[in-house]
């Protein structure tokens, strides 16, 4: 089979599958004759793997680094860090301009953004936990612990600075 087509077909599979089987599968495709029937067979199998992914730590050796690359893992973390940056920025700005932290009578834009970021990450976190806990419980719990730490850091800054 044409190497370019073999690479393209291999890339149709989910990333976790490719990390485990990609190289040997591509070697198999390269050794074969190719053709429309073979391509259709691979496309069908790749779609099936997306729809019904093979599960289990042995099949998908998920490392901590690999799992944190999942959007559902890093997005909540990024949202928490942005929220934290907003609060710290607000506190720093108050301290520089006024020498103390101002308590706003009404919730300002920063507070609304912070709330949106903190609440918005909850469905992503739930999706992450539902998807990854059965597959790699140890690594998933580590990521969830980090995310919980980021949320607690936010709450602590809001509580102790009194901007909430």
Q: For residue 4, state whether it binds other proteins (rule: CB under 8 A).
A: no
125: Cβ contacts below 8 Å, ≥ 6 apart: 72, 76, 144, 147
| CB closer to other proteins out of 25 and 128 | 25
d(CA 157, CA 18): 42
115 vs 61, 64, 77, 104, CA distance in Å? 36, 29, 15, 15
d(CA 91, CA 164): 11
Q: For residue 37, state whether it binds other proteins (rule: CB under 8 A).
A: yes
Q: What is the token pair recorded at 78?
A: 């990024």
Please give the residues from 75 up to 114 whose contact with other proteins meets the rule CB under 8 A.
Answer: none
What is the nearest approach in angstroms of other proteins to the Cβ of residue 51? 12
Q: For residue 69, state whether it binds other proteins (rule: CB under 8 A).
A: no
Q: For residue 136, state whether it binds other proteins (rule: CB under 8 A).
A: no
Q: For residue 45, state whether it binds other proteins (rule: CB under 8 A).
A: yes
d(CA 81, CA 75): 10
Q: Which of 4, 36, 58, 105 binds other proteins (CB under 8 A)?
A: 58
Q: Which residues bind other proteins (CB under 8 A)?
A: 17, 21, 23-29, 31-32, 37-38, 41-46, 48-49, 54-56, 58-59
């Amino acid at each position: 089979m044409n190497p370019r087509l073999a690479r393209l077909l291999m890339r149709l599979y989910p990333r976790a599958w490719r990390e485990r089987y990609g190289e040997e599968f591509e070697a198999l495709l390269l050794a074969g004759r190719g053709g429309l029937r073979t391509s259709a067979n691979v496309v069908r199998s790749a779609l099936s793997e997306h729809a019904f992914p093979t599960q289990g730590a042995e099949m998908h050796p998920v490392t901590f680094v690999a799992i944190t690359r999942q959007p559902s893992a890093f997005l909540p973390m990024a949202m928490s860090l942005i929220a934290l940056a907003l609060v710290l920025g607000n506190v720093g700005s108050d301290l520089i301009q006024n020498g103390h932290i101002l308590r706003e009578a009404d919730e300002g834009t920063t507070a609304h953004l912070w709330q949106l970021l903190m609440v918005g990450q909850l469905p992503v976190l739930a999706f992450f936990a539902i998807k990854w806990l059965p597959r790699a419980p140890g690594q998933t719990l580590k990521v969830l612990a980090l995310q919980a730490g980021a949320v607690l850091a936010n709450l602590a800054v809001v509580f102790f600075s009194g901007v909430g």
